[in-house]
Amino acid sequence: MAHTWSPEQYSRFGDERARPFVDLLARVGAVAPRQVVDLGAGPGTLTRLLVERWPQAAVHAVDSSPQMIARAAEVAGITAELADLRDWTPPAPVDVLISNAALQWVPGHLELLPRLVGMLAPGGWFAMQVPGNFGEPSHTLRAELAAEEPFADHTRGVAQPDAYDAPTYLRALQDLGLEVDAWETTYLHVLHGADPVFAWVSGTGARPTLQALPEQLRPVFEEEFRRRLRAAYPDAGHGVVLPFRRVFAVGRQRR
């Protein structure tokens, strides 16, 4: 069963999810780009910031989720296209190509970088950001529980995100001829409400696992997953702290 995405669930922590995009965008020095593309744009909430940054540019959102791209199509000032970033081709060279929190879902995505960089116009910019927190309890607890019975038969082979560290992206993009700036940041998100870490991951990394479970098992899995997450991320009275490492790389094509 292929998983689907929920714009509502994903947007629940909109401010926290926006911070890496804003930090990524701040390192893109394009002055007057004509073609700007957001690959893996989701609901287009952050693509709107590209319109605000470069109001004279043609801003295009691409996403493989029908639910997400339908929401992005409602954002003023952008065009939206349902397509898989692995084989999407721009109609013209791109001046700014951004991929924010999307490439981690593409296995072996380092091999995709030459194709993406090849889309750039002379002097064009490529900017990417991926999560780097896959060794944290928010991911490892889900994987451990999914491997247990009676869940394992249903969750085996489901999509799982993965990414590399900043030096790996730095070297890969340099080898493609870009001038590169790469870095990592760990955000300390303070979350509130009932089981906020579960609410966070159920909109992103845990969603394929949850959707792979049959209806009679999903509540059982969720209850135990919530319990383990509460133990790993206790609320000391000021909210639950979710450390979230992000990996960034910005490269510019030489003219």
pLDDT of residue 39: 97
Percent of the chain with pLDDT over 70: 95
Question: Does 3 score more than 70 pLDDT?
Answer: no
Residue identified by tokens 């989701």 is 42
pLDDT of residue 5: 47
Helix (H, G, I), strand (E, B) or coil at 47: helix
Q: Where do runs of H (alpha helix) occur along 54-92?
A: 66-72
Beta strands in the chain (DSSP E): 35-39, 58-63, 78-82, 94-100, 120-131, 178-191, 240-253
> pLDDT digit string (tens) for 29-75?
999 999 999 999 999 999 999 999 999 999 999 999 898 899 999 99
pLDDT of residue 128: 98
pLDDT of residue 160: 86
* 122, two tokens: 């002379």
pLDDT of residue 109: 96
* 95 confidence band (pLDDT: 50, 70, 90): very high
> pLDDT digit string (tens) for 181-192?
999 999 999 999
Q: Is 3 or 192 the better-scoring residue by pLDDT?
A: 192
Q: Which DSSP letter does residue 237 get?
A: S
pLDDT of residue 157: 87
Average pLDDT of every residue of the chain = 92
Architecture of domain 7-253: 3-Layer(aba) Sandwich (3.40)
What backbone torsions phi and psi does residue 86 show, to the nearest 5 degrees? -70, -25
Domain boundaries, the chain: 7-253
Report the distance separating Cα 230 and Cα 34, nearest Å.
Answer: 47
State the Cα angle at 165 between 168 and 252, rounded to 5°: 55
